[in-house]
Amino acid sequence: MTNASRINSIFDRIEAGPLTPTWISVLPRERALAHAETEGPLKGLTFAVKDNIDVEGMPTTAACPDFAYRPEVSATVVRQLEESGAVLIGKTNMDQFATGLVGTRTPYGACSSVYNPAYISGGSSSGSAVAVAQGLVDFALGTDTAGSGRVPAAFNGLIGLKPTCGLLSTSGVVPACRTLDCVSIFSKTCATAAAVLAATRRFDPEDPFSRTSRPGEGAAPWLAAGDPFRFGVPAADQLEFFGDTGAAELYAQAVSRLEGLGGTKVEIDFSVFRSAAELLYSGPWVAERLAAIRKFVHHSSGAMDPVVRGIIQGGARFTAVDTFESQYRLKELCAEAEAAWAQMDVLFLPTTGTIYTHEEIAANPVQLNTNLGYYTNFVNLMDLAALAVPAGLRPNGLPFGVTFIGPAFSEEALLALGALFTGESATVPAPTGCVPVAVVGAHLSGQPLNWQLTTRGARLMRAAKTASGYRLYALPGTVPPKPGLVRDPEFSGPGIELEIWAVPTDRFGSFVAEVPAPLGIGTATLDDGQTVKCFICEPFAIPGATEITHFGGWRGYIRSLQTEALKW
């Protein structure tokens, strides 16, 4: 099927049913077809955007018709995607002004989980998730302030990527809490989410909140390591499933699955994260929602959803003093959380503790919405990245999801781990942020200088051997004793045993600075033909050194010395 034929098929499906509740508006078919042959890395993919994201010439409603306006320019992320070859189909339903995790606070009709129409879709990015789950688009953009890019993913069996705040531009996005908002990505695979992220993660000078990572930020040596990665889980008495035994069992199974994939479970104190989460709606960040649309609230509050109006108008009660005090408290909690992060590489949580019916939400809209944020509300406040992935079905057929959470700029690592968890690891690129370094002597595991690697957060990737054209020498007078690796293209030897360590990029320079002459860092060829940064020795140091190539490596040489010592 050609790209144009596929786009026509999508529009035929949309036009065959009611527009709402999934969509608020769709592009004219001809406008979408005009982009069908745009070349780029995303050519052949279709997408939708939440209706708080601007599309040139189309109304932006934020699910409030009286608020609607027609932008003259599309949001930066929309332009980036179209320039990359993706074809926009339309704009999707949402909780009004992105206020809610339920997907029911909208005049365009409440979306439902594609698994059971009696249950909510999750929000606020409800229509974006449903459009992907229904197969109407390949991916969709939402926004995430408190969990809106993750909860709908869990309720519709999808991948939900919540990037670091500022990584994707929010220029042309109606703000909810401007300091916490981010554009999120829904897809059916981690590979698609990774491709969309790659096309959109660029600094935007038009967005004052735009950020780029520094070298080493987001480095994940644990992901490439041969030793187990560590994933944090809440203490048993801090887990909350709100009576949903099916969800509790699926989470336990997910933990076991992650252990089977090489992870080591670490029980952490989740209370510090919960304390941060409680600041979001009980603290002055609610006032930021009011600041975003203050003029509209003042003049047209009667046009708003009653629950949304009550939440946003409640922001008026906070003072500047409240704001500063809450910021101080958040800083304290982030500092306290460092103790947990020292124990784990990622935090592994249920995306939500449970799922609710439309009837249950209607009867108790605020408290049940709060329950859905139990595992999500702290993430943006604490400047973290998150990836929601499917993790099975409850006995009643409803989906359950889990979320990987990591430090800022850890998206690539989370996507790679998520792909491993969902069984599609071969399609997602390995995370960046590390330099693989081969060590041959005193920096090997258990040797006296190994601490120079471990204290920099480096992790062992694997053991390996050099190609045949290398010799190894014991260097005289070095403290602690060290070998020197020298390349000899004319030599055909056994290869030298070594270890490859993943060193975070921002710590590689300080590591190299500690390497004393005659050693240095060069490039070595391994026995499989790959090349890697490696300790090498300058030739001037070889005269007077003892060749130990025949031992196969430094450890073999050390063992020979120990054996000789025992003889005496």
Q: Which of 124, 126, 169, 210 is catalytic?
A: 124
The Cα 385–Cα 185 span in angstroms is 12
449 class by beta-carbon count within 10 Å (0-12 exposed, 13-18 middle, 19+ buried):
middle
CB 484, CB 473: distance < 8 Å: yes
The Cα 386–Cα 330 span in angstroms is 19
As beta bridge partners, residue 159 has 187
First to last CA, the chain: 79
The Cα 64–Cα 499 span in angstroms is 59
Known catalytic residue at 113: no
Helix (H) or strand (E) holding 328: helix 320-341
Question: What are the backbone angles phi and psi of residue 234, rounded to the nearest 5°?
Answer: -65, 150
Which position has the token pair 């609610």?
A: 286
Helix (H) or strand (E) holding 311: helix 306-313
Phi-psi region of 544 (alpha: psi -120 to 50; beta: other; left: phi over 0): left
The Cα 75–Cα 385 span in angstroms is 22
Cα→Cα distances 71→52, 75, 126, Å = 11, 9, 23
Known catalytic residue at 271: no
Cα→Cα distances 45→32, 58, 389, Å = 12, 21, 21
Q: Which of 74, 84, 113, 148 is catalytic?
A: 148
Residue 465's SS3 state is strand
Tokens of 402: 């889990």
Name the DSSP class of 293: T
Known catalytic residue at 188: no
Antiparallel, parallel or unpaired: β 434-439 and 497-504: antiparallel
Q: Three-state SS string across 74-127, please?
A: CCHHHHHHHHCCCEEEEEECCCHHHCCCCCCCCCCCCCEECCEEEEECCCCCHH
Antiparallel, parallel or unpaired: β 346-350 and 229-234: parallel
Q: Annotated active-site positions, please? A: 50, 124, 148
